[in-house]
Amino acid sequence: MKVIGIISNNEKQEALEISKAVYDYLKQRNIEVLLPNEDVMPERYSLKSVSQKEFSDKADAIISVGGDGTFLRASKYSFRNQTPVLGINAGHLGFLTEVDPENIEQAINDLLKGSYSIEKRMLLEGRLYKDGKLIRNTGLPDTALNEFTITRSTIEKVIKMEIVVNDISIKSFVADGIIIATPTGSTAYSLSAGGPVVEPKAETIIITPICPHTLFSRSIILGPDKVLEVRLNSRNEKDIFSVDGKTVALSRPSQYLLRVTRSKKQLNLISFNPNAFFKIFKEKFIERI
Ligand code: NAP
């Protein structure tokens, strides 16, 4: 491993300091370190940065320093070449950030020695169609590590949606929105909307309605080979489409259809502990209650 990219939560002092320490430690080991130039660091940390393309093409691994939100951002740089990503948590434990700040040097030594395993995380591809035509550039990534969502905006009315699987219409309902999540995303927004926790190594497409107006509001779990369509029948002027938390507005949403399939790519998560998910799950959801 010769080149490592760092993505940091630049709004958090602790993450900035850890990133600087990671940078210095890698430099001491003659590793070339890259930062993307759209990631603006405060003046006193300003380190050499490169274009997004150079970052994605040159990095042999990416280190994310922050929480799960930062890891989601780091993942966007990794999709192109399936570059493996390591998560260091800064502040509080995240589901995607296995390494604690006190174990950084050990983790980097293991990373450079190749003493780690790769956990493959399933990704989803989502394409939006308007009046039957593919929208080539929504302004958001086509690939999601957590989920795609469609929600009403706060000033608008509930949305009627039809779920179609492999061309078979299976359900229509009225709700505030819908979440189409990966197993990785099952512990994020989908969980808050009442969805199941799914072990991240599983390969499933999880459909979770947001506040459906019905007595039966279960999630639906699909196999990874299914083609899922969400057809919007919305009376609103505007609904919101989002990919891993990044949003755009859909104007006259009734004309839209979202098609979701499993991505051919995967997220390669660098892990030192095969049971990290269960450890983090217990710590975040059971012991902290
Ligand atoms: P944010 O609104 O700043 O943070 C959302 C929260 O979700 C953070 O606490 C984040 O953890 C956590 N999170 C993200 N991915 C996760 C995962 N795979 N498992 C468990 N928790 C996870 O937005 P953001 O940091 O940019 O993250 C975007 C994500 O927020 C979306 O993908 C969506 O899943 C989630 N979200 C959740 C809700 C909700 O629960 N009601 C509503 C909207 C969006 P960290 O604090 O460690 O970063």
Q: Residue 259's domain is classified under what CATH number? A: 2.60.200.30
248 with 128: CB under 8 angstroms?
Answer: no
One domain for residues 128 and 88: no
Atom of ligand 1 nearest to the CA of 284: 20
Cα–Cα distance measured from residue 155 to residue 237, given in angstroms and rounded to the nearest whole number: 10
One domain for residues 132 and 223: yes
Q: Determine the number of helices (DSSP H) and then strands (DSSP E) in the chain.
A: 6, 17
Residue 142 reports pLDDT greater than 90:
yes
Residue 181 alpha carbon to ligand 1 centre in Å: 12
One domain for residues 89 and 134: no
One domain for residues 82 and 21: yes
Q: Is 68 a catalytic residue?
A: yes
281 with 98: CB under 8 angstroms?
Answer: no
One domain for residues 228 and 105: no
One domain for residues 40 and 70: yes
Per-residue pLDDT of 59-105, as tens digits, reads 999 999 999 999 999 999 999 999 999 999 997 889 999 999 999 99
One domain for residues 160 and 72: no
Mutation test residue for ligand 1: of 10, 65, 68, the one with most atoms within 8 Å of CB: 68
pLDDT of residue 215: 86
Domain residue limits at 12: 3-116+272-286
Name the burial class of residue 149, with classes exposed (0-12), middle (13-18) and buried (19+) by CB atoms within 10 angstroms of its CB: buried
Domains contained in the chain, number: 2
Q: Mean pLDDT, to the nearest integer, of 283-289?
A: 77
One domain for residues 92 and 35: yes
pLDDT of residue 155: 84
Atom of ligand 1 nearest to the CA of 89: 47
268 with 78: CB under 8 angstroms?
Answer: yes
What value does the mean pLDDT of the chain take? 94
Q: Mean pLDDT, to the nearest integer, of 30-57?
A: 84
pLDDT of residue 49: 86
pTM, two decimals, is 0.96
Residue 79 alpha carbon to ligand 1 centre in Å: 19
Which CATH number is 39's domain given? 3.40.50.10330
Residue 214 reports pLDDT greater than 70:
yes
Using 50, 70 and 90 to split pLDDT, how confident is the model at 121? very high
Using 50, 70 and 90 to split pLDDT, how confident is the model at 231? very high
Instruction: Kindly name the residue from 68, 176, 239, 244 that is annotated as catalytic.
Output: 68
Residue 91 alpha carbon to ligand 1 centre in Å: 15
Nearest CA, atom 30, ligand 1: 245
One domain for residues 24 and 98: yes
Residue 222 reports pLDDT greater than 90:
yes
One domain for residues 135 and 178: yes
Cα–Cα distance measured from residue 173 to residue 162, given in angstroms and rounded to the nearest whole number: 7
